[in-house]
Amino acid sequence: MALGAANNRSQPRPQGNDPNVAYQGFGCSIFPSSVATGPKKSGVILQQEEPGDATSPLLFIQLNQLFSTPSGPEWRETARWIKFEEKVEDGGERWSAPHVPALPLHSLFQLRTCLQDGTTLLDLDASSFKEIIDKVLSAQPEEAELQPEPRERLAALLLHQPRHQPTKSLLQLLAELTLSPCGGKDKSCSEPKAQVSKTPLKEQLRNRFQKKVPPGAEAAHIATGEVEFLEKPFAAFIRLKRGVVLGSLAEVALPSRFLFILLGPRAKEKAYHEVGRAMATLLTDELFQRVACQAEHREDLIGGMEAFLDELTVLPPGKWDPSTRIPPPSCLLSPHRRTAVHPPGQQTHGNGDMAAAADRAGLGHPRSGEELERTGRLFGGLLRDIQRKARWYGSDFSDALHPQCLSAVLYIYLATVTNAITFGGMLGDATANMQGVLESFLGTAFAGSIFCLFSGQPLTILSSTGPMLVFERLLFSFSQDHNLDYLEFRLWIGLWVAFFGMVLVATEASHLVRYFTRFTEEGFCALISLIFIYDSLKKMLNLADTFPINWQYRLDNVTSYSCICNLSSPGHSSAGNNTLLPSTQAPWQPPTTLARLSRTQCLSRGGHLLGTSCQYVPDVTLISFLLFGGTFLSCTMLKRFRSSRYFPAGVRKLVSDFAIILAILVSCAVDAALGLETPKLLVPSELKPTNPARGWIVFPFGANPWWVCPASAVPAVLATILIFMDQQITAVILNRREYKLQKGAGFHLDLLCVSLLMVFTSVTGLPWYVSATVISLAHMESLRKESATSAPGEHTQFLGIREQRLTGLAVFILTGVSIFMAPILKHIPMPVLYGVFLHMGVAALNSIQLTDRVQLLLMPAKHQPDLPYLRHVPLRRVHLFTVIQLLCLALLWVLKSTVAAIIFPVMLLALVGIRKGLEHIFSLHDLSWLDSLLPETARKEVEGKQPRKQEEEESNGEEVGDVLGATLIHSSPWGCFAAGAETGLT
């Protein structure tokens, strides 16, 4: 919140002669004092709230201001709040955009005076607005009691019906302008002195703004204005014992809990209005709401107000425009975090150390969760995973009954099919079609379905991955070089890998996942993302070879271009012309008939093509690149449509959920309209092995020597390392705390499923499968849950992921039946799917911190964003950490792309060792911000801080804080104003 500069003359003066009173500002005095117990009690109220306690309901706050009109005084709604302020614009026809309220400083001090000297009624038992007014006027103290005549006039005035400013659609506004005789500026046909009705009006019940009010919200009413019959201000703060619907008083029909009334004689322009805005702003603060709901005395309210003021920051006048409307921030600290960040008696830091530390502590993968705690028993971790996931098994299917899951199924299905075709084709090239596209489809369908049914984290998508493709290529080359049967050799390796995997599960080796810090996760995720990006671009560039661009084409020479079919032998054509000659082996046909033969028919009859345009190919490459780029851009823009300013929130959410499907449909429609022969998605249509020389079952003996069985254990060790790293790093990324998963992880159970599937895929000669990082992240992203309703100006809140098993299961079942869907799938252009691939790779790459730090390398310091780690780590150390990560990433890429790929699994494991070595280059403080501490390092830090903390607590009692100017001064607003009468607060 921002507060403008205050007026020195409007500031009340301190009473008494205590010199310390002027420096007791808002809970941060640098001098000891026993003045004001209210702030202490309000602090106790705030600290009594536990993180899991139910918070106070949100308040819809309405400010009514009294205006003088020719027909008499009239109440008009001028502003409203839920979390941010909305004002009725000067034209009176529309609401302003939500914004952070900016208040004059003196309005807060005058509000404090109102709470001190005015009427305060807490837990008032009343059932109607008239009863409330009567009890408020009766509760006036004798020295401030009104005379009978002003009292009656005041009661009658307060009971006047306010003129609301309802939120209307464009159609309603047009209808009012054309049909309503009250259109234009005179918006009310009701009598100006009508009283508040006891029941809500129709316009309240039809108000579209009701949808923006969170469920369970209550209302607060603020009434301010100037009247001639009062000689001094009348102020009252009322808290009702229970929420009561006060008829037509509010814009929306809600139970009311708080009322604040401030009326008085003519004063400085908008003085009463600004105090009312200050009261409304105070009530929007969730911490003050807690105090206001639990306060027992007037002093508790004043203490809560001082706690509110304690968090303000000074903005000097002349350095900003108070009329500027500050847009709402993208995220706010929760009340619990605010009380943790600013505990009583603890000094805050201007650079946000404590807030950032809270952010840092709340993120990261669950290293300390029960999923990774060792039990000390064989298969102890596996049994815990099964017990943890068993109670959620029923809801894993019922939670999928949501339209968003349909979008996720279609999106991930197309991504999985494209991945199966891409990697299946590459496997076919690398293994002489011992494994091809059909094997890839069948393996993906079976392994994925079993994994989704029985795994610990069913949101994971199994697929062939780049590292596994590298290992398969090396394995086939080794088999060919040593005259070994590839599939039999591969079978024994798969069996050994399954055995080693079972050993890892039995010994709870997934406990080592705690050593996979951000450094390791980002390196692996960046590698897989770059593989997706590289492969999609490589596939598109290869189109230039398949469909070459006709660089020699000239429009002026179009008359000389021709191509005809010659069915005779090449040496017997007519002298110098392109006329057709009849074949000696075929019956003679007229030249016009032969000229109509297609290219395929001509070649099938043994003929050949003659002419200058026979090699002409329509520019398929150009349209393919347009479809590729258009799909990528459409996916990106439609995904961001949720935060667009256009259309209602429901439409934006629907478009964002189905963004990928919409992009694919639009691109397919463009391709169909143009009618060019772009490469299409072709899936196998027959259930037979790609290589006729192999069968569906691989036998373990017969083709290779007996020693292959024990010798296979050596490459199996490398494959086990690769699968363990690939599977568990992906699992760590998917189970990060920021995804707010509620059903827990299952690292041991996932590894068991992958190990058992290795047996089946090895026996049947199908590809090996592990978690696919990029597709799994895309799956998680497509199942994001966000708050359905949000207050004006409030960004939708991320609620977590829709955790269930049905979307993944449906994806893999559809992948299996894709063989029978070839007539439909053949209409999807491959460039469109490559564009989806590029989108997934870029989205995954943008989700890691490494990308942000790489951008910092190219960005001048003054243009760098305000990232938390930049506040606490020197920029050169940030750059050094980034360069080391890039070198490791480059080394991984080189290893996977060269003959040294055999040690690629070891290099993945070496990333953990490199991260350990970084502790000799960077301080633990820097690593805690750029990465996260290794388990034993973090444990030592915690143990080392215990005695230091005790020493600091003992020494703090003897020290006087040297914190002049760091925060505002406490206890009394007059002292704070004296310290900076010409400043503003924000």
Neighbouring CB atoms inside 10 A of 370's CB total: 13
What is residue 95's predicted lDDT score, i.e. its pLDDT?
84
Q: Tell me what the pLDDT averaged over the chain comes to.
A: 76
Confidence of residue 795 (pLDDT cuts 50, 70, 90): confident
* Digit-coded pLDDT (tens) for 552-572: 766 666 666 677 787 765 444
pLDDT at 192: 53
What pLDDT, on the 0 to 100 scale, is given for residue 450?
92
Would you state the pLDDT for residue 334?
A: 65
- Continuous H helices in 77-147: 105-117, 129-138
Segment 103-111 shows an average pLDDT of 88
The sign of the CA dihedral 146, 147, 153, 155 is: positive
Band of the pLDDT at 47, cuts 50, 70, 90? low
Average pLDDT of the segment spanning 407-416: 86
Number of neighbouring beta carbons within 10 Å of residue 562: 12
Three-class SS state of 783: coil
Q: Specify the higher pLDDT residue, 554 or 65.
A: 65
pLDDT digits (tens, 9 = 90+) for 906-958: 777 788 888 888 888 888 888 888 887 766 565 565 555 555 445 444 444 44
646 secondary structure, DSSP code: S
Q: Is 226 helix (H, G, I), strand (E, B) or coil?
A: strand
Strand order in the sheet with 85-87: 85-87, 72-81, 59-69, 218-226, 255-264, 234-245, 119-124
Rounded average pLDDT over 73-84: 89
Identify the weakest region by mean pLDDT among 122-126, 681-685, 883-887, 947-951. Answer: 947-951
What's the pLDDT tens digit per position in 828-838? Answer: 888 888 888 88
Bigger pLDDT: 976 vs 511: 511
Range of lowest pLDDT (211-215, 864-868, 970-974): 970-974
Please name every residue paired with 85 in a beta bridge, in sequence order, or none if there are none. 81, 99
pTM: 0.68
- The highest-confidence range among 37-46, 336-345, 766-775, by mean pLDDT, is 766-775
Better-predicted residue by pLDDT, 338 or 285 = 285
| Residue 152 in this model has a pLDDT that exceeds 60 | yes
Contact 63, 74 (CB under 8 A): no
Cα(323)–Cα(376) distance, integer angstroms: 65
pLDDT band at 262 (very low <50, low <70, confident <90, very high): very high
What token pair was written down for 99?
């914004």
The distance of Cα 442 from the centroid of its chain, to the nearest Å, equals 34
Task: Give the integer Cα–Cα distance in Å for 351 and 559.
Answer: 75
Cα–Cα distance measured from residue 458 to residue 265, given in angstroms and rounded to the nearest whole number: 68
pLDDT (0 to 100) of residue 21: 39
Contact 154, 234 (CB under 8 A): yes
Taking the alpha carbons at both ends of the chain, their separation in whole angstroms is 5
Higher model confidence: residue 260 or residue 171? 260
The size of the chain, in residues, is: 986
pLDDT tens, position by position, 323-337: 788 888 877 766 666
User: Binning pLDDT at 50, 70 and 90, where does residue 729 land?
Assistant: confident
pLDDT-derived band of residue 4, with 50, 70 and 90 as boundaries? very low
In 3-state terms, what secondary structure has residue 38? helix
DSSP-derived letter for residue 231 is S
Burial of 94 (0-12, 13-18, 19+ CB in 10 A): middle
Radius of gyration of the chain (CA): 37
Residue with tokens 């079978």: 491
